[in-house]
Amino acid sequence: MVSQREPLWYAFVTKPRHEKKAKMYLDGAGVTSYLPLRKTLNQWSDRKKWVEAPLFPSYIFCRIPFVDRFDVLQQPGMVRIVGFNNEPMPVREREIEALKMLLATDIDIRVRDGFSPGEDVRIGSGLLMGYEGKVLQERGERYFVIYITSIGKSVLINARNVKLERL
């Protein structure tokens, strides 16, 4: 059972393509929120342009006591809180911090929907030392995976230059 009054991170679903507007409204309402954005190169028929796009389309994270979830859901663009079996699914503080650190670097990351997990590992050195995750083998490349359980998404980091240790 999740504490009703302790502020925790929760994932919320937004209307499609409303993530930035939802963040603006949440900030205006005084809600602590986090919208992970990454720069992507979009190409149209006549030009290319770098834009900041949500790392997880239609998701935004809010740090709130669970009892305040309805205040968040009343903001424009918000759809629902993420949970399973009618129970809220808090996001670990460590996962939010890992996302913030990753997005502050130039590390090549990819996002995948949930997939069957591999071997449990911990990063043994470098910026993300101590973070635990899974190893994924994809087309001959090795990736370290941080799985955001509450939204069923994974962040993949190319593990070429990352020292991994077995747990």
Give the DSSP letter string of 77-91. Answer: TEEEE-EETTEE-EE
Of 150, 25, 160, 158, whose CA–CA distance to 96 is shortest? 150
SS3 16: coil
Per-residue pLDDT of the chain (167 residues), as tens digits, is 567 889 999 999 999 999 999 999 999 999 999 999 998 888 889 999 999 999 999 999 999 999 999 999 999 999 999 987 778 889 999 999 999 999 998 887 888 754 334 667 777 777 778 888 777 766 667 777 777 877 888 888 877 767 777 76
Task: Please give the CATH architecture assigned to the domain spanning 8-41+48-91.
Answer: 2-Layer Sandwich (3.30)
The Cα 61–Cα 81 span in angstroms is 10
* Span(s) in the chain for CATH 3.30.70.940: 8-41+48-91
Q: What is the pTM of this model?
A: 0.74
